[in-house]
Amino acid sequence: MYKTQAESEDFLRGFLPALDATPDEREVVLCVPFTDLSALSKNLHGSRVQLGAQNIHWEEFGAYTGEISGPMLAEIGVRYVVVGHSERRQYFGETDETVNLRLKAAQRFGLTPILCVGETKQQRDADETESLITNQIKTDLVDVNQENLVIAYEPIWAIGTGDTCECKEANRVIGLIRSLLSNPNVPIQYGGSVKPNLIDEIMAEPEIDGVLVGGASLEPASFARIVNYQ
């Protein structure tokens, strides 16, 4: 819940020129609040940046006041949607069952979902990381098409804390996630206090295909440095 429409357009003015140096194969997606989507869709037209939303309801339409459906997103040019972010799970009652419904809805309406999974500090300290991640992946992905999917491993204790997960450990958990998939080519990202000074080291890990960035994506120069990792 950062940036009004005017602020997000201002961000783009600083950010887009920095992509001139970005290798062609690198994919850049901005997942913004619902109120910014329409304006950014127009501003990003013809650019290499794709647009994403931060949530989606599983029904096509109906009496679900306050919710946003797949067709509403698709119509304005949204291509990606974050599903099951830990803040949705923690503060808004998201469960593995509703995450599964949202993933399937995103795919049904032509969007690529970015599924977030990750353990709490308490679960990590109790040695439950592997069982928790395994359970989330298996439950969340029932009947989900793995040909149109991105996964983000986001240890909850690392989100917004500055306490980044050790690269080797993130790589290990992402390897575990990959071993649970029927499609080993699903892109799997790391998220949690990704900062410009850490990005080269993170992206050097073989299992890590990309990053999901929160705080460090809010300022154009900082996010550009991350996108333009070495």
Ligand X SMILES: O=C[C@H](O)COP(=O)(O)O
Is 215 annotated as a binding-site member?
A: yes
The binder of ligand X chosen from 191, 202, 226, 227 (CB under 6 A): 191
192 lies in the site for ligand X, by CB under 6 A:
yes
| Closest-approach residue to ligand X (CB) | 214
- Taking CB under 6 A as the rule, which mask of x and - marks residues 157-176 in contact with ligand X? --xx----------------
Minimum CB–partner distance for residue 80 and ligand X (Å): 13
By CB under 6 A, residue 92 contacts ligand X = no
Give the pair of three-digit tokens for residue 103. 């993933």
Q: Which is nearer to ligand X, 14 or 160 (CB)?
A: 160
45 catalytically annotated = no
The reply to whether 193 sits near ligand X by the rule CB under 6 A is yes
Report in angstroms how near the CB of residue 57 gets to ligand X at its nearest. 19
SS3 of the chain? CCCCHHHHHHHHHHHHHHHHHCCCCCCEEEECCHHHHHHHHHHHCCCCEEEEECCCCCCCCCCCCCCCCHHHHHHCCCCEEEECCHHHHHHCCCCHHHHHHHHHHHHHCCCEEEEEECCCHHHHHCCCHHHHHHHHHHHHCCCCCCCCCEEEECCHHHCCCCCCCCHHHHHHHHHHHHHCCCCCCCCEEEECCCCCCCHHHHHCCCCCCEEECCHHHCCHHHHHHHHCCC
| Closest CB to ligand X among residues 71, 160 | 160
The pairing of strands 49-53 and 150-153 is unpaired
Among 205, 214, 220, 225, which residue interacts with ligand X (rule: CB under 6 A)? 214
- 111 near ligand X, judged by CB under 6 A: no
Q: Is 226 in the site for ligand X (CB under 6 A)?
A: no
Catalytic residue among 7, 59, 85, 166: 85
**Calpha distance 31→104 (Å, rounded):** 19
- Residue from 215, 219, 220, 225 touching ligand X (CB under 6 A): that is 215
Q: Is 52 annotated as a binding residue?
A: no
Closest distance to ligand X from the beta carbon of 192 (Å): 5
Q: What angle do CA 147, 88, 153 make, to 5 degrees?
A: 45
For residue 192, say whether it is annotated as part of any ligand binding site: no
Which residues of the chain form contacts with ligand X (CB under 6 A)? 154, 159-160, 191-194, 212-216
Q: Which residues are catalytic?
A: 85, 154
